[in-house]
Structure 1
């Protein structure tokens, strides 16, 4: 397989080949760029490897441009990077690595092309394209990467026991690539992941979560999570999700398996959005069901309050998983807390008051909340699903009508506490808060419109009732 025609379409390959020849180095295109080229996928970032100094090669390539090209050098890692309009171009010298048992940080030494390529994680990432004059554009595939792509298979170049023991993060990467590419994992490779799952403990949570988020952003993330569960990797860092799995039965009454239900909700959400944090809300929406599970002889299994407890659990889980504790966490927490509210409104007699309260609580996230709620309808009864979704259509139409009329999204009281104090000559006190709350309730109940003048008139009426003003 020769890619010289493809290389000729991008000037960077000619520059690297010429700079390599001038320095007397053998250089190659390696890694994900080659994999994606074989797969027929576009890829912007390019990795070059040479037998020699990658830093010197990068300097020579940068110098070949008439204008200044940003060059970053990382001496400690022996790498350099050029930032071009078309993407990031990385250079590294061929190296070999050895590991100590208690660390994933390798001892790195200069190596040959063969030593470098065989230390790669998977066969599909261990291919290279030569930039040498005598075989320019030739694909070098020492470990059968092309065949594995054709078979849709993730496999390690060397013994997977050694590969994963040396660098346990590669176990997460195996599942990430399988999920992203919808590939299978070779049986021996998967067995080694299961055998070495506990080795994931020496990897920082920050590195683990990068791979997990890529799984979550894959086309069908349930596949990746099933692999994480089956391999026991999920048990190492996300026990709350593992606890969702299983079905209990009493007196022939059972509940659904909340692990597989959660995965179906996640896949459903992925059909409507690539928002990572909405996908996280799908993962977290039932996370408190194991903690709230109870059996009642009359009604069977219940999970009362799981939405509130799940919201309370969210910050601690995000903190442990090294996920952001900012507005993104609060967004997930809000959706978890509210995810049952629209379901409760799926009936013809829903009141405008209930719709106003939902709009006020959800704010700008109401549309995402409705996406989550639609995704949460996972019955195997297609007629039941169709009926529920049609009812959601009604709720959304009613929400739009109420929002257009009352403007309650991200509700702000039409009268501030400061205006109440100034108008009634009050100091900060409990009475000020009570007046604000009564005005808000009157708006939500439809007694007055969400408008300043009506709210101010009601403020004086409330003040008279409380004896703050004379009647």
Structure 2
């Protein structure tokens, strides 16, 4: 079957011409071909295999482009990359690989196109289109990848046990592709992932997180996390989540399965935001429930302070997985810490409670509301409608309070310097006491968030503290 239409961009003609000049065969392979056949939009990454030197082909292609784009060469891997027309093209020589059990980095030697297709992770990524003049656009599909695309199946070209043991990152990639494409991992492959799950230990945390992020960024992240749990990989990667699994029952009192509840929340939030870190917050918002779970005869199951405990766990989790230890982590911590606040508030929407919520959440108050709305997973239509209605009241009240009181990213209307100047003070605890009193009065609605009112309160508090104006 010929797919010349897939190769209409001028870069393919340039690669074809360059390969002919070097007397090499060349093929476009992998994701570009797969996504074209799935009609997933224009690809920005193209992988080209040369039966010969990929680096030589990249250099020749650059010469044949008027702008002569810079070629980045990665000698260790025998690959080269250049950018053209907003497209990233990677060139590699066809190769065959052999592995040792302590590393996912193979011993590489030159090979044929067939060798190169054999080493691919999945049949749907082994599809290749010829860039050679004599059969330009012809599809080479040695493992029936087209049928797997049509049937929505993730399958390895060779024995899955060997494929996953050789490079255990492929287990994460299989689950990621199943999630992104809503494909099924074939039974033999799924069993092989379960059999080889402990091999994930040789993969760097950074590579694992890349795949986790792609799962979280998909339309229905729960597909991936259910597969990670089913195969046993989740125990190695995010044991904080598997600890939430299961329902305990004592004296007829049960609690919900917090693992599956969490996945519902993540799927809900995936419908409303592309913010990766807010999706992480949804995934981790209940992790404090496992260590805080207790049963009391009078009130049943409790999870006291699970938000506080969970926010502390976020730090340890991010550190363990070598994730960012910066404002992104602090954002996730804050969302986890505050995840129940709007839920409590929704039952009685007072001005002072809303002011405090906006004060504490600051610029992230909208994200917090989005998270709490996603946390509504009740199957009771009346309760579902009621909770959403209550959160709408909270959102409306936030807008009203914000317009009137400007609490978001609150700055005290009276500064520490002004207090020091008024009472002729040096830095001291009295300044903190006065500032706290002004903040509390504004949040409680006792005074407006304005300089004059705050200044008068400052004078009163100073007098009460025995301070004299200068």
TM class by smaller structure:
over 0.9
Q: Deviations over 1:274-297 (max 9, x none)?
A: 110000010111001011101111
Matches within 5 A, 1:367-378: 367-378=366-377
Matches within 5 A, 1:291-310: 291-310=291-310
State the distance in 1 between where 2:349 and 2:132 align. Answer: 73
State the distance in 2 between where 1:375 and 1:101 align. Answer: 43
State the distance in 1 between where 2:255 and 2:382 align. Answer: 20
Stretches of 4+ aligned residues off by more than 3 angstroms = none
State the distance in 1 between where 2:67 and 2:25 align. Answer: 26
**SS at 1:147 equivalent:** helix
State the distance in 1 between where 2:62 and 2:182 align. Answer: 38
Specify the alignment match of 1:151 in structure 2.
151
Specify the alignment match of 1:34 in structure 2.
33
Specify the alignment match of 1:87 in structure 2.
87
How far residue 33 of structure 1 moved from its aligned partner, in angstroms, is: 0.3
State the distance in 2 between where 1:312 and 1:227 align. Answer: 27
Q: Deviations over 1:28-61 (max 9, x none)?
A: 0111001111111221211110110011111111
State the distance in 2 between where 1:363 and 1:321 align. Answer: 28
Specify the alignment match of 2:51 in structure 1.
51
TM-score (normalised: structure 2): 0.98
**SS at 1:323 equivalent:** coil
How far residue 228 of structure 1 moved from its aligned partner, in angstroms, is: 0.2
Specify the alignment match of 2:458 in structure 1.
459
Matches within 5 A, 1:74-153: 74-153=74-153
Specify the alignment match of 1:446 in structure 2.
445
Matches within 5 A, 1:277-426: 277-347=277-347, 349-426=348-425
State the distance in 1 between where 2:34 and 2:46 align. Answer: 11
* 2:257 corresponds to 1:257: yes
Which deviates the most, 451-460 or 261-270?
A: 451-460
TM-score (normalised: structure 1): 0.98
5+ long unaligned stretches in structure 2: none
**SS at 2:295 equivalent:** strand
For the aligned residue pairs, the C-alpha RMSD in angstroms reads 1.1
Q: Deviations over 1:430-464 (max 9, x none)?
A: 11110110011111111111111211111111111
How far residue 86 of structure 1 moved from its aligned partner, in angstroms, is: 2.9
How far residue 67 of structure 1 moved from its aligned partner, in angstroms, is: 2.2
**SS at 2:83 equivalent:** strand
5+ long unaligned stretches in structure 1: none
State the distance in 2 between where 1:399 and 1:46 align. Answer: 47
* 2:269 corresponds to 1:269: yes
Q: Deviations over 1:13-40 (max 9, x none)?
A: 1111111111110110111001111111
State the aligned residue count. Answer: 469
Q: Deviations over 1:324-359 (max 9, x none)?
A: 111111111111111111111112x43211111001
**SS at 1:273 equivalent:** coil
Which deviates the most, 445-454 or 26-35?
A: 445-454
